[in-house]
Amino acid sequence: MSKEVIILYLKSTNLISLEVAAEIANHFESKLVLRNQKILEEGTVSDEYLFLEKGFMRSFAHDTDGNEVTTNFYSPGDVIFEVASFFNRTKSKENIQALTDCVTWYITYEQLNNLFHALPEFREFGRSILVKGFSGLKTRMLSMITETAEERYISLLKTNPEIFQQASLKNIASFLGITDTSLSRIRKELSKKH
């Protein structure tokens, strides 16, 4: 496994020079995460800032009845960490779990902070990741309010089609804020239209 993938990812933002990208990449360690393995469990503090090279993951929390509710899906090229727990050093209410065997690269909270202080370019990169994440969260929140379940389903199908091969329909339904039955009905109705 080559750190080249980290260098290319850092460079792709156009915020970091090749030299600085190579320096940052040197701090990342590789880790294989097996299918169903959790990289974060609720009640623990998120300490890894992780880049997903291969595979798929999801984050989920438990509702008041103890049911799993999927809060996000992650695909190759995504940065994964539970932002509130990571930066506030508080116990997470979310779990992050591999849907497939995954190849990941990570640095710890302490390493990330040291790099942020030492390298202004990396600080800008980090800020851009947070802005992108916040924007995505806001878009998702508004879609839950302003779009129908069918519109949310179609949007997920367009933006992240591979998730339908990797995640269970139960996980997808909970992410969309609907029941499995509603998801089946939407899929059936849409297949009739095409």
pLDDT (0 to 100) of residue 129 = 87
Q: Which residues of the chain have pLDDT under 70?
A: 1, 194
Q: List all residues 6 or more positions away from 181 whose beta carbon is below 8 Å from its beta carbon.
A: none
pLDDT (0 to 100) of residue 12 = 87
pLDDT (0 to 100) of residue 79 = 93
Q: What is the pTM of this model?
A: 0.91
CA distances from 21 to 2, 11, 52, 67, 148 (A): 14, 7, 17, 41, 42
pLDDT (0 to 100) of residue 170 = 95
> For the domain 4-120, what is the CATH code?
2.60.120.10
Name the residue ranges covered by the structural domains of the chain: 4-120
pLDDT tens-digit readout, 34-77 = 999 999 999 999 999 999 999 999 999 999 999 999 999 999 99
| Residues pairing with 107 in the sheet | 49
pLDDT (0 to 100) of residue 80 = 96
Tokens 């299918």 belong to: 35
Contact of 119 with 20, CB cutoff 8 Å: yes
